[in-house]
Structure 1
């Protein structure tokens, strides 16, 4: 089987550069895709033949939310639902103005926005708590992890020893957040105890992104630092259980698949290579190339990977993995 036979590529044309992409993580609204650009967040409805009666792939642009500056991070609230009326869209967007905006919309013109101010530098990552969406965690270049409550107040803050690149919540660990720092160190904080519980060191810099696997009962954390992909099992030790050189000139993005416990994707150099591989296998990764690549997001139910680019959203549907 050739590389081209392993996946199908779909595109959504844009008139601007796409800096962030994020599929909705709720089971009932997994068709939603948020796209962040220079000044707005666009909401798309994506239909794949694997789960709906469409010929191949169809999309519809549902709504635009004005952000006023470049979008640096996106996160969907689990409250989001489009299966009943009124529709309920709730998502957070980090901006290049160092602020976070939480948008709420019924997709019929009734929009509201809550502005969260506190970060003093770029916001690199956001995540709502996966159960209720009552809390939002954020990290940025100001070396702080901030936990916000439903009313937009800072409920907790954790100082970091380097820029915060990723923050993740896990459904199995509702009172813990994982924070990845640019200096190669990953920390897990307790929200109930308001303290650091454990840390892991990739021994590589710069660490650009980390993700907490949605399966495996919250035991696996993956990260990309320097040219390497590194995996930790939090139940075993603070040492990596797996390390591979994945992009010889450095890696920028990394995400675990949501529908598969060991499927991962990364983006790095040379160029803007995208690699998709099985974390538990030594098989050669599927390698894709784009001229411009910003961000990665996996579909909640399907092996479909979205990436941003120059005037396009690219979506890759993988056939056999």
Structure 2
């Protein structure tokens, strides 16, 4: 089912259901897309006509496939990834359904290493790199913890939560602050200086399934809880400053656009609805459904989203952004 939204759609075929997808959020690796199927993670380089006049629509190149011995539930790119350096550096971390994190580092030749991080005792829902130096990693999950690790797999800090951790985000400018969205509707901002919570936001409804920190305004936090997406201004109130219904049977994923301050995307039910909202008006840029939809990621520089599907990655270009 689709509406009359103005967008173009592409896809990347795969041989199995795609569990998660992630565009790199860093300028020097922004063309890279990680795609997890089964126990493998494939890396693609994507080019769009919006940023390259030599491209007719969309082109992709399969760079490499890595075997991780376990299905992945979440992936995060390291800011140290770069294919323009010598030697090349590829680094990402994947949360496995066996509760372990796996840090993969490769020079795309003969030197691949996979290091498993052990400590979580239940499903890991979210993982992220510290965005500036990339020396630390945060993860959160159903074991009511948020954990900070170094790249050697040593756990540096453990934050005890009051509900399953659904999302973890690092502050884009202040690397001593992290945000954790809890399933009970509470979003907590922690300080890594003193390992204490410094602020809490309250969605006022449950279950909270996903939250995100705006790249354009670090005072803005977005979340999806119950059937609604909501937006917080951390300088004004612990309550939402805006709320809109997204999915009548419950939302699942919320992501701010990385390139456009007013765009956000959600996935929810009934079915597997994908919607792109604009916070400045009531227009839906995308309103469509898929039989299967896992993961949601925005391109760094373009109003483009990717979603994992059944034997393919679905990609939409938001034309009217």
TM-score between the two structures when normalised by the length of structure 2: 0.97
- 1:59-98 aligned within 5 A: 59-98=60-99
- In structure 1, the residue matched to 2:210 is 209
Q: Distance in 2 between matches of 1:320 and 1:12?
A: 23
- In structure 2, the residue matched to 1:148 is 149
Name the SS of the counterpart of 2:86 in structure 1: coil
- In structure 2, the residue matched to 1:288 is 288
- In structure 2, the residue matched to 1:302 is 302
- In structure 2, the residue matched to 1:43 is 43
Pairwise CA distance, 1:63:
0.8
| Structure 1: stretches of 5+ with no match in the other structure | none
Matched residue count: 319
- In structure 2, the residue matched to 1:113 is 114
Deviations 1:62-107 (A, max 9, x none): 1111111110010000001112222110000000010000000112
Deviations 1:263-310 (A, max 9, x none): 100011111111101123223453011111101000000011000011
- 1:143-292 aligned within 5 A: 143-216=144-217, 218-292=218-292
- In structure 1, the residue matched to 2:313 is 313
Cα pair distance change 1:47/1:15, threshold 3 Å: same
Q: Distance in 1 between matches of 2:151 and 2:308?
A: 30
Name the SS of the counterpart of 2:28 in structure 1: helix
Name the SS of the counterpart of 1:174 in structure 2: coil
- In structure 1, the residue matched to 2:34 is 34
Q: Distance in 1 between matches of 2:59 and 2:208?
A: 36
- In structure 1, the residue matched to 2:6 is 6
RMSD: 1.2
Pairwise CA distance, 1:4:
5.3
TM-score between the two structures when normalised by the length of structure 1: 0.97
Preserved CA contact (<8 Å) 2:5 2:286: no
| Structure 2: stretches of 5+ with no match in the other structure | none
Q: Distance in 1 between matches of 2:18 and 2:310?
A: 6
Q: Distance in 2 between matches of 1:143 and 1:109?
A: 39
Deviations 1:128-177 (A, max 9, x none): 00000000000011010000013210000100001000000122221100
Q: Distance in 2 between matches of 1:113 and 1:145?
A: 22
Q: Distance in 1 between matches of 2:246 and 2:5?
A: 22
Deviations 1:168-224 (A, max 9, x none): 0122221100000111110000001110001011111111110001111x1000000
